[in-house]
Structure 1
Amino acid sequence: MKDVQADPVSAVAALADPTRRSLYDYVLDADGPVSRDDASEALGLARGTAAFHLDRLAKEGLLDVSYRRLSGRVGPGSGRPTKLYAPAEVEVAFTIPGRQYELAARILAGAVAQSAADGVPINEALRSTAARAGADLEVDGGLEQALDAMGYRPAVEEDGSIVMRNCPFHGLAQSHTAMVCGMNLDLLTAAARVAGVAESRVVLDPAPGRCCVRILPDGD
């Protein structure tokens, strides 16, 4: 199987169709790749209907497609390969507003591993792992676009500063506020540096209803 990235909104919409969801569950439960004939027979669907929905699931990145001659024969007269479907190695998570709890888990796990391996304090390790995560963000389209893709929902205020209207780690921040605010600051500072924004512009400025980080206007 391939590692495929599915667009969560489109994938959730695709799975909202009952027939499509039944086909997806059938492929997930199968012992191996299934054909259109397998699926149509198992679910009592017309072959064309099964083919249409299976191809839609594949288009959304939820199924992988392969081709194989099921007869085992090769050469002239062996027939065309059969189109087969198998679950793609993808997880679909869709939350409103956007959350990044998997990223938080990776940062925290990396900090624990670094602290154990290098003998550095966990807080120091957390700062460095958060900074590495920020430096890895794709900022070619600009810092604001990258932060929006992360779920921060950046908004420019009248004075030119940028506030984050959403914290991607909101649930975690409720119980570990200082840790998550520090992680946000280190992550966004590193992302700003890669985007060519002065690190000094990224500051902690907590306020109710938004992320604790603010990016000051250029020149402040």
Structure 2
Amino acid sequence: MATGFTLVFVDVPEEARDADVSAIAALDEPTRRRLYDHVVRQQGPVSRDEAAAALGLARQTAAFHLDRLAGEALLDVVYERRSGRSGPGAGRPAKLYRRSAKQVAVSLPDRRYELAGRLLAQAVEESDATGEPVRKVLHRKAEELGAQLGEQNGTELLDLLERYGFEPRREGDAIVLANCPFHALAQEHTETVCGMNLHLLRGVLDGLDEAGLEACLAPVPGRCCVRLQPAA
């Protein structure tokens, strides 16, 4: 039975993660953080003069930091005439700032909880629509997604695993994964999340046509529960 559910996974490129780090670093400056907090608490856009007056800053200082926040895409810039007039003599529109729609998240070590959440939510929805057991749907969808990642990225296995936060290390003929991108979930829901991860990595191997390796559960403290070893 067709359900109409499709998992869409959008990878976060390295440059996007670098931009998130830069944005967070921009908020480390105390005056800039105060300005950001002030702008996002307001119901409407804020001008340089309004922000400077509210925080007791020189207008030039407020303008510098507001523009830096806009440059990091943490604030959006809009232009409005505050006089209420239009046409000749109405004056130039004021430069105003408001919270942007950008979401910033940086996690070290790398975590991929959004990916796990999407897979789990899709499994629940499809199970509810079809009656198929949730865990069976989850394993199938995870494997399909892994194959998709392998087929679409056109890269080597170790590079792909590194890209998605697994921190792969060669150990003889096997590959161990020093980091679990789903660590906190795996600690509380081990069987569910490790099973999902196992099938995800089986799909990756299929997508990359890595017939010489197989994914198996081999939990070791401080590592991902899955190990890639020579196929039997």
TM-score (norm 1): 0.82
Structure 2 residue matching 1:85: 3-state secondary structure: strand
Provide the TM-score with structure 2 as the length reference: 0.78
Residue 57 (1) aligns with residue 103 (2): no
Match status 1:215 vs 2:228: yes
Question: Equivalent of 1:118, from 125, 130, 142?
Answer: 130
CA distance in 1 between partners of 2:159 and 2:73 (Å) = 24
Q: What residue is the counterpart of 1:139 in the other structure?
A: 153
Q: Secondary structure at the match of 1:13?
A: helix
Structure 1 stretches lacking a partner, 5+ long:
none
* Distance in 2, Cα, partners of 1:162 & 1:185: 14
Partner of 1:184: 197
**Contact 1:139–1:191 (CA under 8 A) maintained in structure 2:** no
* 1:129-182 alpha-carbon deviations (Å, 9 max, x no partner): 3235435646245443443233211223343x4321100111221232222111
Higher mean displacement: 11-20 or 124-133: 124-133
- Residue pair 1:153, 1:165 contacting (<8 A) in 2 also: yes
CA distance, structure 2, for counterparts of residue 94 and residue 144 of structure 1:
22
Map of 2:28 onto structure 1: 16
Pairwise CA distance, 1:100 = 2.1
CA distance in 1, matches of 2:75, 2:23: 11
Report the equivalent of 2:109.
97
Q: Over the residues paired in the alignment, what is the CA RMSD in angstroms?
A: 2.7
Classify 1:193/1:93 alpha carbon distance in 2 versus 1 (closer, same or farther; 3 Å): same
8 Å CA contact 2:201–2:215 kept in 1: the answer is: no
* Change in 2 beyond 3 A, CA 1:19/1:192: farther
Q: CA deviation at 1:83?
A: 2.2
CA distance in 1, matches of 2:229, 2:106: 31
Identity in percent:
53
Shift, 1:188, TM fit: 2.3
Task: Compute the displacement of 1:39 (Å).
Answer: 1.2
